[in-house]
């Protein structure tokens, strides 16, 4: 991304350096007005009721399907994700739209709760104006998780996509806006200042997905007026490989989850702890499988790993790598860099004396440390302020026993951490505050209100 003298945001292709497209930056001084328009539009939007909003939004799913290939190409062009992953994100997002709408529709239904004396009806009302501030690493899916349930609940949304991926954000909002009434969903473009301005405006809900550092700033800014926040933040996910693990599948997972999207995934495997007795065999398998990760132009369908999103992100990763090598980690493969690319890299002999085992790396570096005994694995894995995801590979009951002692919000047993359809996406500890998706996640975009009457009156009337 670059900002021109005419206040235009240029989206730069990280693989080629070419300009992918441009959007006008929203002046900070105009953002209060954007929020005011959203507030005016919200009354009529809310008055449509759940049935009305569902009927109006259902056809969006088909249009997103029609646009999925184009949006997928744009994802690859703007942030360097491989073609398979770019298309995968847009197709998955489009295919989930209809089922997410239905699940939000069901989650927002009123509930009747009676006791001997009282009938209560629990309503889930709209909050008002909701803001979605999102990152670049899943530039369609992250906005969808914040925008779709918020709109279904009857809120109007002000959406600020990442400055690295403004075109995907705009393309997504344009499809929705073919169906939505005016000002129900508005987009503001820019970087930090355009993120701060809506936070400081007259809003009711803020759904932020991004780094822990920016999440903490937003939390502070929302404090004085107790503005509602949902923060989905960074992680430092551990993979524990137990003695009784299927090493072939553990190594497949280790490599896939360290390198996909160049390691730029919030639930990337950033730390691997392997039991001493099986460590040589596991490390050799990881090294062998890393060779399969062809790197290059992400528009080439055979390429699995493209560039880093930006020079800035590349430099953060390289600085951590350089420091880890100085601190004694062994470089077993990769480590090379050219332009925006970092080769898939495997480090062994890592330890908790190294920064790379503590700070979020967000790059294609697979870091392996050995342990002896479950208690040490649990203690190492939990030694972090983060708590997003994690995985344990081992015999099912053994792996489950270890997993239940871990602090993250989502832990996979012999699989990635994401839960079944309908479960929320949860960051524990400093990886999140509130959460989204699934029934409970959708409900975070509502205000609960209780209406109560004497049970006798209620029974006479209904």
Per CB under 6 A, does 210 bind ligand NAD? Answer: yes
Instruction: Estimate to the nearest angstrom the gap between the alpha carbon of 180 and the chain centroid.
Output: 25
Per CB under 6 A, does 75 bind ligand NAD? Answer: no
Per CB under 6 A, does 217 bind ligand NAD? Answer: yes
- Of the listed pieces 51-59, 78-86, 89-97, 206-214, which binds ligand NAD according to CB under 6 A? 206-214
Per CB under 6 A, does 233 bind ligand NAD? Answer: yes
Per CB under 6 A, does 207 bind ligand NAD? Answer: no
In which residue are the tokens 């090379």 written? Answer: 336
CB of 360 to ligand NAD, least distance (A): 5
Q: How many residues does the chain have?
A: 462
Per CB under 6 A, does 119 bind ligand NAD? Answer: no
Token pair of 78 as six digits:
């703007």
Q: Please confirm, yes or no, whether 266 is among the known catalytic residues.
A: yes
Per CB under 6 A, does 323 bind ligand NAD? Answer: no
Per CB under 6 A, does 427 bind ligand NAD? Answer: yes
> Which residue, judged by CB position, is nearest to ligand NAD in the bound state?
195
Q: At what angle do helices 49-57 and 141-152 cross, to 10 degrees?
A: 140
Q: Are strands 330-333 and 345-348 parallel, antiparallel or unpaired?
A: antiparallel
Per CB under 6 A, does 136 bind ligand NAD? Answer: yes
**Which of 266, 350, 367, 417 is labelled catalytic?**
266
Token pair of 352 as six digits:
């908790």
Count residues near ligand NAD (CB under 6 A).
31
CB of 375 to ligand NAD, least distance (A): 28
In which residue are the tokens 């600085």 written? Answer: 319
Token pair of 191 as six digits:
């970087």
Task: Measure the CA–CA gap between 194 and 175, rounded to whole angstroms.
Answer: 22
User: What does the angle CA 179 – CA 436 – CA 452 come to, to the nearest 5 degrees?
Assistant: 90
Per CB under 6 A, does 316 bind ligand NAD? Answer: no
CB of 74 to ligand NAD, least distance (A): 17
- Of the listed pieces 13-21, 191-199, 300-308, 393-401, which binds ligand NAD according to CB under 6 A? 191-199
Q: Which residues contact 67 (CB under 8 A, 6 or more apart)?
A: 90, 94, 171, 175
Q: Are strands 345-348 and 205-209 parallel, antiparallel or unpaired?
A: unpaired
Token pair of 450 as six digits:
């209780």
H/E stretch holding 42: helix 31-47
Per CB under 6 A, does 358 bind ligand NAD? Answer: no
Per CB under 6 A, does 441 bind ligand NAD? Answer: no
x-marked contacts with ligand NAD along 8-47 as a string, rule CB under 6 A: ----------------------------------------
Q: Which is nearer to ligand NAD, 135 or 344 (CB)?
A: 135
Q: Please confirm, yes or no, whether 156 is among the known catalytic residues.
A: no
Q: Give the residue among 218, 236, 216, 235 at the shortest CA–CA distance from 227.
A: 218
Known catalytic residues?
232, 266
């Amino acid at each position: 991304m670059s900002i021109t003298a005419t206040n235009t945001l240029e989206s730069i292709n990280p693989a080629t350096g070419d300009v992918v497209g441009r959007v006008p930056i929203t002046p900070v001084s105009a953002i209060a007005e954007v929020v005011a328009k959203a507030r005016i539009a919200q009354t009529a939007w809310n008055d449509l009721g759940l049935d009305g909003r569902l009927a109006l939004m259902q056809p969006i799913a088909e249009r997103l399907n029609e646009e999925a290939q184009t949006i997928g190409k744009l994802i690859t062009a703007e942030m360097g994700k491989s073609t398979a992953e770019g298309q995968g994100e847009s197709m998955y997002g489009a295919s989930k739209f209809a089922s997410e709408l239905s699940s939000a529709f069901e989650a927002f239904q009123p509930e009747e709760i009676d006791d001997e004396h009282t009938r209560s009806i629990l309503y889930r009302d709209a909050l008002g104006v909701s803001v979605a501030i999102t990152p670049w690493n899943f530039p369609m899916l992250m906005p969808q998780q914040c925008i779709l349930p918020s709109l279904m609940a009857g809120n109007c949304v002000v959406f600020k996509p990442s400055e690295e991926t403004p075109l995907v954000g705009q393309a997504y909002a344009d499809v929705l806006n073919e169906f939505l009434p005016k000002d129900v969903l508005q987009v503001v473009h820019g970087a930090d200042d355009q993120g701060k301005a809506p936070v400081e405006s007259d809003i009711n809900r803020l759904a932020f997905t991004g780094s822990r550092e920016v999440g903490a700033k937003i939390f502070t800014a929302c404090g004085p007026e107790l503005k509602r926040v949902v923060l989905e933040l960074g992680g430092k996910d551990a993979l524990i490989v137990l003695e009784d693990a299927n090493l072939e599948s553990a190594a497949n997972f280790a490599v896939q989850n360290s390198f996909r999207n160049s390691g730029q995934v919030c639930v990337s495997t950033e730390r691997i702890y392997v039991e001493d007795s099986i460590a040589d065999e596991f490390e050799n398998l990881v090294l062998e499988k890393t060779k399969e990760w062809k790197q290059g132009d992400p528009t080439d369908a055979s390429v699995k790993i493209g560039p880093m999103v930006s020079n800035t992100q590349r430099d953060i990763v390289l600085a951590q790598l350089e420091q880890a090598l100085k601190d004694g980690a062994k470089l077993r493969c990769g480590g090379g860099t050219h332009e925006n690319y970092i080769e898939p890299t495997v480090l062994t002999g890592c330890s908790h004396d190294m920064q790379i085992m503590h700070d979020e790396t967000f790059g294609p570096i697979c870091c392996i440390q050995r342990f002896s005994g479950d208690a040490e694995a649990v203690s190492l894995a939990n030694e972090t302020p983060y708590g997003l995801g994690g995985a344990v590979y081992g015999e099912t009951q053994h792996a489950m026993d270890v997993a239940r002692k871990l602090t993250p919000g989502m832990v996979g047993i012999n699989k990635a951490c994401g839960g079944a359809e309908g479960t929320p996406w949860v960051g524990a500890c400093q990886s999140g505050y509130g959460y989204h998706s699934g029934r409970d996640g959708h409900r975070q975009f509502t205000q609960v209100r209780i209406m109560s009457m004497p049970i006798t009156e209620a029974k006479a009337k209904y």
